[in-house]
Every structure is written in structure tokens, then in C-alpha cells.
């Protein structure tokens, strides 16, 4: 039994749900609200619940001390103790064995079966790809492409924008133009949405200003060339590829919930992704990586870590890149990504600065680092432009938003939340 759990009886989700008279999805809402505790079984995947807590809750009745939560049944992603599982597959395993394009296809269609080795190198036989062109791809399928005319329009739409505009702001402009130029955007069957997803993600990347020469045809290789003026070291490119996989989805995060609401209203895939992009930049979501970048920039040398943290705490601010509402004991995605960056550039001075920040946070017994902090270290070590972490997050998460949109298109009913009115009496 894992450390920290007292000796007690643990029951599976089906048994707990039957005793409480609720759907299994409601159990996980109870976990997120602190009503029930959950742990994973010996296989690392099966959720177990305290029989004593379930029985106590059954006798007391459903919890009413907080407003009811919206619970949406989904087959896309489950959240584990320290990591997500994409359609049952451990995301840390996927980040080590599969490319982003392969994992996106898995999220969208649950097939074909994911490999247990890294994708074949560029030059594998090509397939065909909906909106895109036929060409050799690292995953053995078609290279994801957006047609040149649409790309030219997306590039032209950015003329006149400030040169130092953050990449996330550019992505919103690009997504708008790509949607307006796609006559197939209202076809919402799974195959069409998958084709649209490949076109959209490729366009988001390729319409950004090019800073260096792409070293290959994968989304990770092309994205690097838009975020960094120097060619990639192999280890750091591998870390970027892993980051895209690790960030592709995270159940009903704020941006994903917004994207699902848009999809439930039959908004097209471009509008779904625009909705997600609008929410993602918030400092409590994907924008946290930008805050972590700024924190690291203040730590020119390790001894400055304490002051950078103290200043934020004195102002009553959160320390960006630390703490997680789901992974209270540490974000496994952040650990996996940080290990890859350290392996690729162990002597880099930005690694030392990051380690100093980590040590200072632990000395103060403050929350553990999450993937936003590791993403900021990747960007700093690689010499990427300001706001690169947000762009990586956004490109990756577009795959997840579209997977959830497909479920809403299939469900066919509008998600309608209700407010608990607290205003003046109605006269």
C-alpha cells in the first residue's frame, strides 16, 4: 500500500458508485472537491476509494456544502495521482515513445495502436492527409500541412503587428484567418475534424515568423524554427517533442471546458480552438509558463533565487510554475520534462538558476514545481523567444481541444450551466 494511506479497505469505482447511487464520473468530482480520497491500485491505473468514507457519505447523503459541479463524461483523458492518461495510456510513457502527431491521432480516434518505440525517422513512406499534402513524416504518415494560399493570408494578417508581440497573440490572429479560409470547417464528422486539426495545427506553426531553418518536417521541428533563432541540439528537440505530448490534453482544464462549451453549440473547430486560446493565456492556466519565464529571467545567478521568490510573496503573488490544483504532491509531467532538459544541457547556467529556485521553494516548504516551470526552463536553456512556453502549450493543447470537441459534436446537446442567483430580490 502506498505510503501515506492508513490501513483500511479500498473499493473500486464501480462498487463505490453503486453504494452512493451516482455515476462513476461523479466520484471524481467528489475527489476534486475533497469529499472523497482516491488512490491507484497496484496496476497504477485502477482508481480505489476508501470504503469507510464511501459508507459515511452514503449515510450522510450527497454533499451540499458546495455548489454542484458540472460533470461531463469523457473517454479522452483520465487524471492519475501525478499524471494524465490519454485513452488509458500513461502520458509519461507516450512522451518517451511517441511523436506528437501520433499522439494527437490517438486522442482524436483512439487508433491506430500507439507504438512502443520512437517514430521512424523522416523519409518513411508517405500517406495521404485530408487538407494537407502527401509527404514523408516522422510518424510514417503524411506531413501535416496547410495550403500555401491560406498560409500567405495568415502571414499577411500579421503585418503591422508589433514585432515583439507574444507568440500566443499571433496564434489567435492566425487561427482566425485559417478558419475564414477553410470552406470545409463546418464538416463536423470525426474524419473531417481530424483533417481540419492537421491543417489547423500545421498552419498555426508555419504562419508564425520563421527564426531559423527547420531541421525536419515534424511539428516539433517546425515549431522550434519559429521559436528559436538557433538550430536545435538533438536532446533539446527531443524535450520539445516530449513537451508537446505531455501538454496535449489535461481533462477538463479551464480552456478545455470553454472549448467543449463552444463545440456543444456546434461551433466549428477553428472557433473551438480560438475559444481555448482565449482562456489559455490566463496566468492561472497556460500563461503561468510566461510568468515562470519572467521569474527565471530575474535569477541571473543562483544566489538571486531567494530574492525573486521573496519579492513575489511580499506582493501577495503566487510563485508561477509551482503548485497544482490536481497534483498536490507534484506534477509528474514537470519532472519528466525537466529531466530531459537537464540531460540535454546539464551544465547550462539556466539549469543552475532553475535548480536554485527549486531548492529555495523546497526550503520554504512551498508547493512543488509543475510543468509550467519545466517549460520555462526548456525555453530558457534553448534560447527561445519570450512567451515561447505559451506557444508550445497552445499548439499542443489544440489537439486535446479538438478531441473533446469531437465528443461534443457526437453528443449533440448544448452544455448549459446554471447560475445560483445571489442578487437583489426579484420584484
pTM over 0.85: no
Lowest-pLDDT choice from 120-129, 133-142, 149-158, 368-377? 120-129
Give the pLDDT confidence of 55-92 residue by residue, as tens digits.
Answer: 888 877 655 544 445 678 899 999 998 999 999 999 99
Longest Cα–Cα distance in the chain:
72
List the one residue out of 251, 252, 216, 246 whose CA is nearest residue 234. Answer: 216
Between CA 285 and CA 390 the distance in angstroms is 10
Q: Is 43 noted as a catalytic residue in this protein?
A: no
Dihedral (CA of 188, 189, 192, 195) sign: positive
User: What confidence tier does 404 reach under pLDDT thresholds 50, 70, 90?
Assistant: very high
DSSP letter for each residue of 208-260: SPP-S--SSSSHHHHHHHHH-SSPPPHHHHHHHHHHHHHTS--SS-HHHHHHH
Give the pLDDT confidence of 285-314 residue by residue, as tens digits.
Answer: 878 889 999 999 999 999 999 999 999 999
Arithmetic mean of pLDDT over the chain:
87
Domains along the sequence of the chain with CATH: 10-71 (1.10.1660.10), 99-427 (1.10.580.10)
Q: Is 420 helix (H, G, I), strand (E, B) or coil?
A: coil
Are 168 and 277 a contacting pair, CB within 8 Å? yes
Q: How long is the chain?
A: 427
What is the model's pLDDT at position 421? 81
Mean pLDDT of 270-280: 96
Between CA 91 and CA 251 the distance in angstroms is 12
Cα pseudo-dihedral 244, 246, 251, 257, rounded to 10: -30
Q: Is 333 helix (H, G, I), strand (E, B) or coil?
A: helix
Give the pLDDT confidence of 210-264 residue by residue, as tens digits.
Answer: 999 999 999 999 999 999 999 999 999 999 999 999 999 999 999 999 999 999 9
Q: Which of 285, 324, 331, 404 is catalytic?
A: 324
Mean pLDDT of 186-213: 97
List the one residue out of 78, 111, 118 whose CA is nearest residue 95. Answer: 118
User: What confidence tier does 5 reach under pLDDT thresholds 50, 70, 90?
Assistant: very low
Are 157 and 177 a contacting pair, CB within 8 Å? yes
What is the model's pLDDT at position 44? 66
List the one residue out of 333, 353, 288 whose CA is nearest residue 84. Answer: 333
Mean pLDDT of 27-37: 76
Q: Is 404 noted as a catalytic residue in this protein?
A: no
Q: Which of 182, 206, 331, 372 is catalytic?
A: 372
Amino acid at each position: 500500500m502506498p505510503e501515506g494511506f492508513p490501513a483500511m479497505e479500498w473499493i473500486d469505482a464501480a462498487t463505490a458508485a453503486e453504494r452512493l447511487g451516482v455515476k462513476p464520473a461523479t466520484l471524481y468530482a467528489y475527489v476534486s472537491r475533497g469529499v472523497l480520497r482516491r488512490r491507484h491500485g497496484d496496476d497504477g491505473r485502477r482508481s480505489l476509494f476508501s470504503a469507510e468514507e464511501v459508507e459515511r457519505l452514503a449515510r450522510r447523503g450527497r454533499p451540499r456544502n458546495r455548489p454542484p459541479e458540472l460533470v461531463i463524461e469523457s473517454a479522452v483523458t483520465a487524471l492519475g495521482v501525478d499524471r494524465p492518461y490519454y485513452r488509458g495510456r500513461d502520458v509519461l510513457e507516450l512522451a518517451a515513445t511517441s511523436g506528437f502527431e501520433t499522439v494527437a491521432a490517438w486522442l482524436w480516434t483512439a487508433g491506430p495502436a500507439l507504438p512502443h518505440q520512437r517514430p521512424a525517422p523522416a523519409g518513411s513512406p508517405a500517406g495521404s492527409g485530408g487538407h494537407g499534402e502527401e509527404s514523408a513524416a516522422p510518424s510514417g504518415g503524411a506531413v501535416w500541412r496547410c495550403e500555401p494560399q491560406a498560409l500567405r493570408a495568415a502571414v499577411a494578417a500579421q503585418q503591422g503587428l508589433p514585432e515583439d508581440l507574444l507568440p500566443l497573440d499571433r496564434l489567435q490572429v492566425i487561427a482566425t484567418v485559417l478558419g475564414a479560409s477553410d470552406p470545409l470547417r463546418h464538416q463536423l464528422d470525426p474524419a473531417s475534424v481530424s483533417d481540419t486539426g492537421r491543417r489547423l495545427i500545421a498552419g498555426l506553426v508555419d504562419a508564425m515568423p520563421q527564426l531559423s531553418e527547420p531541421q525536419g518536417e515534424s511539428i516539433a521541428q517546425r515549431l522550434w524554427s519559429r521559436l528559436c533563432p538557433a538550430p536545435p541540439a538533438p536532446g533539446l528537440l527531443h524535450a520539445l517533442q516530449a513537451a508537446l505530448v505531455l501538454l496535449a490534453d489535461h481533462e477538463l482544464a479551464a480552456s478545455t471546458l470553454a472549448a467543449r462549451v463552444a463545440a456543444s453549440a456546434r461551433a466549428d473547430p477553428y472557433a473551438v480552438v480560438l475559444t481555448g486560446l482565449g482562456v489559455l493565456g490566463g496566468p492561472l492556466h497556460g500563461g503561468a509558463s510566461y510568468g515562470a519565464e519572467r521569474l527565471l529571467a530575474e535569477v541571473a545567478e543562483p544566489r538571486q533565487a531567494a530574492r525573486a521568490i521573496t519579492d513575489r510573496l511580499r506582493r501577495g503573488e503566487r510563485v508561477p510554475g509551482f503548485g497544482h490544483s490536481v497534483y498536490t504532491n507534484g506534477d509528474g509531467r514537470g519532472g519528466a520534462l525537466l529531466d530531459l532538459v537537464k540531460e540535454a544541457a546539464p551544465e547550462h547556467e539556466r539549469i543552475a538558476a532553475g535548480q536554485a529556485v527549486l531548492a529555495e521553494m523546497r526550503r520554504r516548504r512551498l508547493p512543488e514545481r509543475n510543468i509550467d516551470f519545466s517549460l520555462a526552463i526548456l525555453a530558457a536553456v534553448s534560447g527561445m523567444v519570450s512567451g515561447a512556453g505559451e506557444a508550445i502549450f497552445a499548439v499542443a493543447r489544440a489537439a486535446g481541444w479538438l478531441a473533446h470537441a469531437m465528443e461534443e459534436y457526437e453528443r449533440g446537446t448544448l452544455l448549459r450551466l446554471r447560475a445560483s442567483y445571489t442578487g437583489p430580490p426579484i420584484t
